């Protein structure tokens, strides 16, 4: 037989495009359309419904950037359409390529009841099936003219459209046709039949019989269609396909659990206020689709997004709650938002689950067993313990499939964290969280699945996402045909919990991956938008202080504990940890608002802290030092206050022979040369130099930074090929107890203050950068005379070790990584820490020196300070920034932990009468308290969370003044007693804990 595949396939494509798809709506009539545009921000629904309108015709431009227009749509169903299915087809000016990234609409009835959302690939609204004829159509459409930032077709092009203040007022869209139409369900089903078979056929081997069976059936169906009467011959064409569509899948076929999904970024190429409306549009669509499709199941994560609907669209929320109660609209993930997981601190990562799971429990009586993070940019090694402590045991993500260097070896596995906790983890092999049920996607999932022979199941999140939209009726129709179809994986709609239960049952002993799930992409998100990151770090520590001092003051003085205020602030901070806000990958509008929000929250939290500390200090003239860090500072205990001079006295700089200055406190001697660079940091007590021979620390280095794509997200390895040392000094002088260094480069200026405290082996470096570069990357380098095959970087509730070498492609790919407050390197008996107050990105490299008589190793730690990408925010990071770092020679890992907290929790001076004893004490510095607070249920119990911080076994006694240690219980993160945990032993008025490395525990102590 002659090979006519290309002929038939090309025929199928054209006939579908030009004849069959247009025949889905064979008869149409125009609707009457009027418009009213809001003069500013979106208005309440009632105001939009009542607004006066003016006529607008198809082809008319409308919609200023980020504007809102209300369309009034009216019409009458023709009498001759009686007995037929009728729907409206509403084109606001869509282009088909980017659902969720351009204009969108939500259709309302005159009484304000939402009907469904509109986006480029979901433009229909059902009128009736069948109609009687003569029905009146009267709708309003709340339409958002959100600009398409990639409308030029050139990706990552800088654009002013990312903020209403710079976007101008030129109309963004041209109104399309808004029409009533007869819907021919037979033709629509023929389209679905042909698309499914055509897509499947393209994935089958040419030498297999199944491909040819489908090809011949498709050819017969196309012969059966009269192109001049598609509607009259569609049923005949469908009959030609029935036999090949009825052949069942092989018993060994891969099984896919389809989960309806609409990954909605809580902010990204749109502001938070627009996400509120995106969620309403999408959930309106999904509740409507659930009513039409009895087998369909939809899952939505992010409790924040449910809370937005509840607050802003209660009529939509009522539909959602009803569908949740029926088990078909599934709250997933149990987190407040789908956050970044690298940068949030220990408590913040825990509170993501506390607030998310509690919302789902309170609103729906549902507790999730899975974390749902399909789009997060890598996963910190501390996360498994947090997921377990929240009462969950599973994780879903697919983002690791984006890695550019190494292919992850598993799709289903156990992930083990730093403390030994394991969670059952699944990466959907479909390699997208926006599956459209195409034949290529389903075939890719089956081929790609790495657990073949051991497991048979995978999950496919199905629906348009990022900008929302969700699942369409076309996707549901395709899934129905793929339920059991020869040559394809078998598809069934299932809730995430059902998938995980079956996957665990068939694969009880999966492989184990230990340590972080590092994404070999989007590494620059650890640095972009520095002020957003600083706002997050500052907020996390202010919340720690506010809870600690408010709890202490409530117990000691009756101070009113600010439950509602702290709850609201925590949720705001958690929202801004979303994986396109904290990582710095959103438009200018988002980050402008984030900076304003962090400033407002800081003011509120400072107010709480100040009021609580004044209540504790009482009226008096003594100066009390409040220490909110988890370690004693001088004579001030952790969590207490005492009268003494505040730490911060520094040694006086002394001129250095040859230029520069010397800082020497008897413990550490630091030499700063005439360039303002640190050429020596000598640990006097250990008789050990920290700086590598011939090298200089406090070295600012500038690199070009123009990645191949994803400007705000990516830094590519080749950036290191070219760089310059900023060693020219514009000013060098002693200023009080510090050495002031000034540098000028490009359009930017740096001022640094270098100081050594009087009583510690630590060099403090305060850096102010007035940054006006573009597409540049600024690093702060510390070349150290230390040989270490690995280094420690702080993560949630502990630290993770990373290699300093590049033996394999896995190590090479980690050329930019995340730390929280410190990195630490050591040789046996001696180490060095580099601590920070607000930076996350860093790199560590090693080189062997080749000088005469010196084959030592130089290990260089570089903190990433600033970038200047131009997309999606063309003004990223322009302006003044301040950073604090410290170099700590001779540091143990315990010293690194302590110094990291010191840098982020400065002492506070408060006038008062009496010293304040700590509410909670721990007798082992290896056991660190991460939170002291009152229980969320407002019962008055004290909640203390702590963890082993050094990576070893630790025994500690925890005491709480005024609380009953003999009634203390271990709880989960939601402060519920652990069913399988013994009550901790009480001794010496406290609770005795024996902790394994990095173990985190939560104690609940009732009042005595």
DSSP state of 176: -
When computed from its CA atoms, the radius of gyration of the chain, rounded to whole angstroms, is: 31
- Kind of pairing, strands 255-260 and 490-493? parallel
Element containing residue 597 per DSSP (H, E): helix 588-617
3-state secondary structure of 258: strand
List phi, psi (to 5°) of 28. -135, 160
| β-strand partners of 657 | none
H helix or E strand, kind and range, residue 310: helix 303-312
- At what angle are helices 563-575 and 346-364 packed, to 10 degrees? 110
Q: H-helix or E-strand containing 219?
A: helix 209-224
Q: Is 848 exposed, middle or buried (0-12, 13-18, 19+ CB in 10 A)?
A: exposed
The DSSP line for 39-107 is SSS---HHHHHHS--EE--TT-EE--TTEEEEEEEEEE--GGGTTS-EEEEE-SS--TT-TTSS-EEEE
Residues 6 or more apart whose Cβ sits within 8 Å of residue 240? 217, 220, 221, 223, 224
At residue 522, the 3 state secondary structure works out as: coil
The DSSP call for residue 464 is B
Per the residue annotation, which of 163, 340, 375, 683 is the catalytic one?
375
The Cα–Cα gap between 661 and 655 comes to 4
Who's near 435: CB < 8 A, 6+ residues apart?
A: 258, 261, 428, 441, 460, 461, 462, 463, 475
Alpha carbons 960 and 932: distance in angstroms, whole number: 10
CA dihedral 281, 283, 287, 290 (to 10 degrees): 110
The conformational region for residue 470 under phi > 0 = left, psi -120 to 50 = alpha, else beta, is: left
Report the alpha-carbon angle 839-845-849, nearest 5. 140
Picking from 679, 678, 826, 825, the residue whose alpha carbon sits closest to that of residue 755 is 678
The strand order across the sheet containing 512-514 reads: 370-372, 394-396, 422-426, 412-416, 512-514
- DSSP code of residue 126: E
903: its two tokens: 């840098």
Q: What is the DSSP string of 908-964?
A: EEEEESS-B--SEEES-TTEEEEEEEE-TT-SS-EEEEEEE-SSS-EEEEEEETTB-
- Token pair recorded at residue 863: 């903190």
* CA separation, residue 508 to residues 424, 457, 495, 505 (Å): 10, 13, 20, 6
Determine whether 375 is an active site residue: yes
Which H/E stretch holds residue 539? Answer: helix 530-557
CA terminus-to-terminus distance, the chain? 90
d(CA 38, CA 48): 8
Cis (ω within 30 of 0) for the bond into 130?
yes
Structural contact between residues 545 and 932, judged by C-beta atoms closer than 8 angstroms: no
Neighbours of 382 (CB within 10 A): 28
Which residues are annotated as catalytic? 375
């Amino acid at each position: 037989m002659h090979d006519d595949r290309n002929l038939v396939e090309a025929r199928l494509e054209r006939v579908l495009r030009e004849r069959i798809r247009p025949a889905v709506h064979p008869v149409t009539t125009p609707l009457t359309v009027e418009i009213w545009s809001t003069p500013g921000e979106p208005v309440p629904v009632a105001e939009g419904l009542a607004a006066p309108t003016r006529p607008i015709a198809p082809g008319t431009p409308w919609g200023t950037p980020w504007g809102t227009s209300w369309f009034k749509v009216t019409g009458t169903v023709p009498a001759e359409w009686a007995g037929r299915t009728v729907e409206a087809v509403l084109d606001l000016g869509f282009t088909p390529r980017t659902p969720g990234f351009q204009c969108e609409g939500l259709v309302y009835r005159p009484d304000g009841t939402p009907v469904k959302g509109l986006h480029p690939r979901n433009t229909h609204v059902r009128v009736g099936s069948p109609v009687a004829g003569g029905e009146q159509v009267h709708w309003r459409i709340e339409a958002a003219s959100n600009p398409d930032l990639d409308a030029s077709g050139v990706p990552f092009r800088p654009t002013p459209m990312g903020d209403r203040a710079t976007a101008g007022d030129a109309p963004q869209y041209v109104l399309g046709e808004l029409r009533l139409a007869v819907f021919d369900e037979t033709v629509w089903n023929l389209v679905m039949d042909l698309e499914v078979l055509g897509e499947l056929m393209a994935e089958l081997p040419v030498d297999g019989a199944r491909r040819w069976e489908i090809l011949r059936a498709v050819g017969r169906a196309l012969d059966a269609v009269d192109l001049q009467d598609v509607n009259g011959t569609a049923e005949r064409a469908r009959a030609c396909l029935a036999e090949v569509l009825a052949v069942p899948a092989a018993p060994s076929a891969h099984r896919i659990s389809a989960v309806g999904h609409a990954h909605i970024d809580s902010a990204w190429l749109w502001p938070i206020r627009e996400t509120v409306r995106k969620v309403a549009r999408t959930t309106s669509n999904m509740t409507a689709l659930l009513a039409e499709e009895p087998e369909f199941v939809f899952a939505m994560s992010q409790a924040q997004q449910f809370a937005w609907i509840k607050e802003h669209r209660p009529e939509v929320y009522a539909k959602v709650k009803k569908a949740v109660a029926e088990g078909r609209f599934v709250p997933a993930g149990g987190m407040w938002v789908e956050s970044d997981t690298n940068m949030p601190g220990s408590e913040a990562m825990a509170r993501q689950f506390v607030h998310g799971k509690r919302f789902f429990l309170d609103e729906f009586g549902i507790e999730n067993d899975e974390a749902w993070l399909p789009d997060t940019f890598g996963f910190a090694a501390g996360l498994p313990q947090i997921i377990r402590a929240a009462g969950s045991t599973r994780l879903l993500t697919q983002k690791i499939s984006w890695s550019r260097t190494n292919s992850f070896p598993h799709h289903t596995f156990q992930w083990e964290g730093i403390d030994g906790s394991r969670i059952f983890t699944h990466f959907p092999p479909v390699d997208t969280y926006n599956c459209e049920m195409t034949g290529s996607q389903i075939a890719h999932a089956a081929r790609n699945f790495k657990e073949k022979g051991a497991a048979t199941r995978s999950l496919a999140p199905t629906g348009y996402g990022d900008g929302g939209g969700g699942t369409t009726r076309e996707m549901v129709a395709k899934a129905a045909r793929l339920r059991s179809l020869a040559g394809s994986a078998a598809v069934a709609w299932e809730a995430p919990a059902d998938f995980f239960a079956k996957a665990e049952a068939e694969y009880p002993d999966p492989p184990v991956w230990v340590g972080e799930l590092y994404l070999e992409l989007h590494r620059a998100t650890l640095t972009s938008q520095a002020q957003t990151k600083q706002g997050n770090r500052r907020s996390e520590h202010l919340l720690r202080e506010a809870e600690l001092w408010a709890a202490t003051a409530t117990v000691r003085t009756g101070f009113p504990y600010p439950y509602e205020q702290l709850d609201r602030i925590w949720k705001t901070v958690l929202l801004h940890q979303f994986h396109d806000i904290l990582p710095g990958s959103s438009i200018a509008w988002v980050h402008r608002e984030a900076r304003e929000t962090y400033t407002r929250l800081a003011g509120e939290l400072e107010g709480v802290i100040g009021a609580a500390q004044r209540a504790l200090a009482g009226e008096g003239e003594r100066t009390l030092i409040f220490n909110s860090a988890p370690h004693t500072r001088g004579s001030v205990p952790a969590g207490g206050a005492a009268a003494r001079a505040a730490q911060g006295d520094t040694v006086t700089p002394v001129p250095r022979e040859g230029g520069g200055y010397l800082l020497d406190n008897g413990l550490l001697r630091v030499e700063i040369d005439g360039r303002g660079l640190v050429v020596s940091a000598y640990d006097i007590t250990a008789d050990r130099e920290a700086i590598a021979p011939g090298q200089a620390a406090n070295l600012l280095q500038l690199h070009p930074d123009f990645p191949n794509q994803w400007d705000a997200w990516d830094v590519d390895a080749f950036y290191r090929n070219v760089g310059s040392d900023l060693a020219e000094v514009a000013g060098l002088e002693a200023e009080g107890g510090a050495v002031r260094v000034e540098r000028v480069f490009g359009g930017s200026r740096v001022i640094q203050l270098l100081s050594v405290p009087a009583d510690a082996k630590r060099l403090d470096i305060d850096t102010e950068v007035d940054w006006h570069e573009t597409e540049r990357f600024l690093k702060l380098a510390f070349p150290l005379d230390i040989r270490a095959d690995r280094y420690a970087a702080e993560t949630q509730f502990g630290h993770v070790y990373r290699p300093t070498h590049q033996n394999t492609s896995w190590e090479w790919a980690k050329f930019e990584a995340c730390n929280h407050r410190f990195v630490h390197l050591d040789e046996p008996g001696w180490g060095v820490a580099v601590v920070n107050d607000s930076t996350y990105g860093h790199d560590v490299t090693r080189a062997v020196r080749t000088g005469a008589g010196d084959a030592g190793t130089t290990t260089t730690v570089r903190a990433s300070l600033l970038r200047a990408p131009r997309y999606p925010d063309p003004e990223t990071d322009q302006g003044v920034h301040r950073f604090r770092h410290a170099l700590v020679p001779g540091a143990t890992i315990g010293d690194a932990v302590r110094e990291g907290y010191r840098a982020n929790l400065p002492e506070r001076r408060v006038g008062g009468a009496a010293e304040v004893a700590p509410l909670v004490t721990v007798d082992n510095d290896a056991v660190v308290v991460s939170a002291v607070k009152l229980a969320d249920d407002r019962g008055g119990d004290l909640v203390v969370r702590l963890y082993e911080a050094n990576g070893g076994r630790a025994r500690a006694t925890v005491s709480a003044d005024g609380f009953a240690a003999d009634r203390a219980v271990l709880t989960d993160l939601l402060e519920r007693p652990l069913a399988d945990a013994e009550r901790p032993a009480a001794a010496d008025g406290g609770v005795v804990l024996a902790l394994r490395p990095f173990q985190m525990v939560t104690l609940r102590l009732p009042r005595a």
